[in-house]
Amino acid sequence: MVMKTGPALITGNTIVAKPAPTTPLTSLLFAEMVADMLPPSVLNVIVDANDLGALMTKHKDIAKVSFTGSTATGKKVMESVSSSLKRLTLELGGSDAAIVLDDVDIKAVAPKIFDAAMSNAGQICLATNKRVYAHSSIYYELCGELARLAGVAVVDDGLKQGTSISPIQNKMQYEKVKGFLEDARTNGKVIAGGQALEREGYFIAPTMVRDIGDDARLVREEQFGPIPPVLSFEDVEDAIARTNDTDYGLGGSVWTGDVERGVAVASKVQLGTVWVNKWLDMPFDVPFRGAKQSGIGAENGEEGIEEYTQARIINIAL
């Protein structure tokens, strides 16, 4: 929400912000915090039961819509605003891949890849829980280290000190993730976790899957859960082609002992943002955008600010 409201306010707009029905509290708290800092009605936050979005996108007094969410919903938003040609920014789903080359230090890299896949229980659009491609020469060693990390991870309430894996956010997503677990057991080899935990709440054990095909649901779809599949490759060009074989193009990462080699690989993948030897470094002065069906327009940076403006030309006779 802050990535949208900041640039919109700086450029002189008034805003109506609507969080997802399952995550309203932080948005409402933010509105409460800034209520005395802004003139009345400059920032408005409304919550709903998933029934107000279409009314907002079609409203004649709204000039621009900026939406973050799934690609399927983004297409509906785009269709809704088309009747009035509202300005539009979409930050949508991803199938983010990590490409791990054969020259990495596995002990050093594995925890970073694990965190990139498991942060917020995988419920991050840019998480690398979608696909990890590892060179065949290091494949089983990397899988073993990732499985070890999954085995020692602490799954609990995110507010408790020491917790490293938090719960799934809502029941609908929890049931969806359990479906991905079944796919993992059917089409791959589960080497850590593999089950929902029998306790109050929506907890999934951090799960590692290897020996799974590219056509499995767990590999092809955006899962939003702690179940990263690890796939093997022989040739880096094959890994690049498989990374690009998707309708998504949000982000990804390359892990290598040679930065120049990593940059060369990163330049060939069709993604909006590619990190080399790190993940989720997103300075507010650097634009963030998706390729293909992962989005339209930009957030952050000068480009993101310009999304909330309308350029005009005044041409006068002298």
Taking only the tens place, the pLDDT of each residue in 16-30 is: 999 999 999 999 999
What is the predicted pLDDT for the residue at 88? 98
* Claim: this prediction has a pTM higher than 0.85: yes
What is the predicted pLDDT for the residue at 171? 96
Ranges in the chain annotated CATH 3.40.605.10: 2-91+284-306
Is the four-CA dihedral 38, 287, 130, 217 of positive or negative sign? positive
Residue 95 CA from chain centroid, whole number: 8
What is the predicted pLDDT for the residue at 22? 94
What is the predicted pLDDT for the residue at 297? 97
What is the predicted pLDDT for the residue at 244? 98
Tell me which residue of 290, 281, 251, 286 sits closest to 99, measured CA to CA.
251
CB 11 within 8 A of CB 309: yes
318 residues of the chain, pLDDT tens digit each: 999 999 999 999 999 999 999 999 999 999 999 999 999 999 999 999 999 999 999 999 999 999 999 999 999 999 999 999 999 999 999 999 999 999 999 999 999 999 999 999 999 999 999 999 999 999 999 999 999 999 999 999 999 999 999 999 999 999 999 999 999 999 999 999 999 999 999 999 999 999 999 999 999 999 999 999 999 999 999 999 999 999 999 999 999 999 999 999 999 999 999 999 999 999 999 999 999 999 999 999 999 999 999 999 999 999
Tell me which residue of 104, 125, 129, 107 sits closest to 116, measured CA to CA.
129
Phi, psi (degrees; rounded to nearest 5) at 112:
-70, -40
What is the predicted pLDDT for the residue at 299? 97
Superfamily name with CATH number, domain 2-91+284-306: Aldehyde Dehydrogenase; Chain A, domain 1 (3.40.605.10)
- Find all residues with CB under 8 Å of 72, minimum gap 6, and list them: none
| pLDDT tens, residue by residue, 128-145 | 999 999 999 999 999 999
What is the predicted pLDDT for the residue at 292? 98
CA distances from 25 to 1, 92, 194 (A): 12, 22, 31
Report, as residue numbers or ranges, the catalytic residues.
Answer: 91, 125
What is the predicted pLDDT for the residue at 216? 96
Tell me which residue of 103, 104, 137, 91 sits closest to 289, measured CA to CA.
91
CA distances from 112 to 92, 107, 122, 183, 184 (A): 24, 10, 14, 26, 23
What is the predicted pLDDT for the residue at 265? 98
What is the predicted pLDDT for the residue at 119? 96
What is the predicted pLDDT for the residue at 242? 98
97-276: CATH, from 1.20.1560.10, 3.40.309.10, 3.30.470.20, 2.40.110.10: 3.40.309.10
